[in-house]
Amino acid sequence: MGDTGSMAIGGAIAVMALTSRAVFLLPIMGVCFVASGVSVILQVGSYKLRNKKRVFKMAPLHHHYEQLGYCESKIVSGYMIVTTIACLICLLAFI
């Protein structure tokens, strides 16, 4: 997709969250993105503060799973399932 498409989709999702007053549900719907971002923050912080000790084998989180031996299709399908469940939970908040 590239930067242009992902920025446009991200902007559209942010505007929809703002207009529907669901800003606090956005991190729940994007739990996989949040987890990947937090994994990078934890990895860098741990590396700097704990004398080059790592929390994960590799950051972001999906690369850690690759290092553990999971194939890419299993990682992607797992992320899809988690995102679907999180979005359904957020959908229930509107009902």
> What does the pLDDT look like over 44-78, one tens digit per residue?
999 999 988 899 999 899 999 999 999 999 999 99
Tokens of 17: 């969250």
Task: Read off the pTM.
Answer: 0.77
Q: Report the C-alpha gap between 37 and 35 in whole angstroms.
A: 5
Q: Report the C-alpha gap between 92 and 54 in whole angstroms.
A: 38
Report the chain's terminal Cα–Cα distance, integer Å: 33
Q: Which residues contact 89 (CB under 8 A, 6 or more apart)?
A: 28
Domain boundaries, the chain: 24-94
